[in-house]
Structure 1
C-alpha cells in the first residue's frame, strides 16, 4: 500500500506515519508538511529514520500535489489546529489551510482513486449549545447530566446527533465545511471516505501551547517547574475534557485503512470518553504525583473566548461499527509524556519551557 499523510511532520501525522511504517514495513508512506508549526522540524529526522518519505510542501498549493506520486490512501491530518486562530481578524491562513487545502487533498485522492480518511474535530459542535447543557458540579469536576435540552448528549458525552446550528469558532467552522464537501465527494464522485471527529488528541511529540495541546503544556509546566492558571469558570479548574492517546487513535486509523468499506461515508466521534477524562484540577493532581513536582497555579475567574466548560466524547457509534475503544487512560498518558520529556529534555526545553 502507498499512503499520503498530510500534516505529516505534525504531532498527529508523524505519529501515525511512524506507527504505520512500524506495523507495515513494506508500505510506502509519504509525509507532506509545510513545517509552519514550531517543533515540527524535529520530526523530519524521526520520519527519515523510520523509512518514511518526507515531502516539504503545502496543501494550499495545488502544484505541490501535482509533484506527488499516486497513492492508495490519503490520511488528511493537516490543519491550523488552534481554536483561537483567526479571532484576531485575519482568518486567511486558517481558511486557506483547513478548507481549501482539504479540497486540494480531495482532488488529489479522486485523481488516484485513493481512499480518504479525514481527521476532523469535536469543535464542529456549537459552543453556545454546549455551554447551555445541564451539568452537575462535583467536588473536582463538572459532570454532564442524562437529562438534557437537546438530542445527542447524555452522561456518556456528546454523540454525532448533537445539533450543529450555531457558531463554533472559525477553526471548527472550517473543519465542518470540509466535512460537508467530503460528503459530496463521497456521494457524487464515489470517493471512499470516513470522517473522524476527534476529541483532544495527545501524547509524546506534541508541542503543547495554551490554545492547542493543553495536556502536554500542563505536564511540561510541571516538569520544568513553571506556573499555570485555571482560567474561567470561577478559576476552580473544574472544566473537563476527555483525552485520546495518539496510540489509541492509531489503532482506529489502522482499522479504517484496512476496512474502509465498513465505514464508508460515515462520520464517527472518536475521543477518550468518560474513562479517559479529567478536569484541570484532577490533571494537576496526577501531574504532581507522576512528576513529583508542585507548581503555583493562579486562579482567573473570567472565561476565555471560544472556551467550553466540559466536553466528553460519546464513542458508542464508533465502538459499535468497528469494535474500537480507547485503552489508555489519563495516568498512562501523563506517565508516557513525562517519560518522553525525560528522554528528550535538551531538544524540548527551548520549545516547551
Structure 2
C-alpha cells in the first residue's frame, strides 16, 4: 500500500496558494490535513478551494493536536527557524520554503535539530528545475563553450515593493529573497563551492528599508566567476544569462538562447610577440570560423519538486537539496551581507 503523508501547511501567502497547496492536492502521496495562518479569511478560502478541514491561527496547537507527518513551512522568513524547530521537536518532518533561514546561524540550528530529533529537513529551491536551468545544464554538458570562466545572471525589473518583503525586520530584501534562488541555481548547475564574495546592496525604489538592488561577484573555488545582478529599479532589462567559456559564449534573452563558439582545434597556431613594436601598428586580429546556434527555452517540470519530496520524505531516498548545499548557500548570503557592510544610501 502506498504511503500517504499527512501534511500541514503553515502560511497561506503567494507560494502556498499558487504552488504548495495545488501540488499537495495533485499528488496522491500527500494528504493536506491542516493549514495555519493568522488571517481567518485566508483559512476559509483554503477550506473552500482545497478542502482542508483543520484550520488554525496558531502553529503550536496544530502540532499538539494533529501530529502531522510533514509540515510545509510557507510563512514569512522571520518565522522559518522557530516553526521548523518546533515541528521537528514535535516529531514532524519539515519541508521549508526558501530562504531556509535569516542567516547561517539559524540554518545550522535547524539542521542540528534535525540530527538530534532524527527528522528530515529540506528546502524549496525551484530554480534548479525551471526551463532556463535545464537549458544551462544542456549547454554546460555539451562542452561547446570550452572551460568556463564567467557566468552573469541578471534579474531586471522596476517594482516599488511595498509588502512585508520590503522590510528588513521581516527578513525582506532581494539578497535574501531572489538571491536564495539564483545563488543556489549557479552553485547547483556548476557544482561549485564559494571561495570569495564581493557585494553591494542598495535600496532604490522599494518603499521599505530592505535592499532592492544587489550586485555580487562570487568567486568559486575553481576560479569560475559568478556576476549576480538583481535590480528591481531597472527601467530597461539586461540579458538574463551570459555564459563565457574559452571557446565561446551563450546569451539568453526573451525566451531564446544564442550560442557562438568555435570547434576545438579550429584556431591556427599563434605565437606571442614579446616585442614592443606591434606588427603593422595594428591590434591583433584573426578570422574565426564561428559556429552559431539558437536554442528555444525548455519547459519547466512543475510537478517534479513534489515527486522529489515524496522520494525523500516517504521512500527514504536522498534529498534533492542536500544539507551541505543549502548551508553553503546561506553562508554565501551572509558573506554578501558582510561585504556590503550595510551601506544603504537612500535616493530622494
- TM-score when normalising by structure 1: 0.39
* Structure with greater proportional helix content: 1
* Structure with greater proportional strand content: 2
Q: Larger Cα Rg: Structure 1 or Structure 2?
A: 2
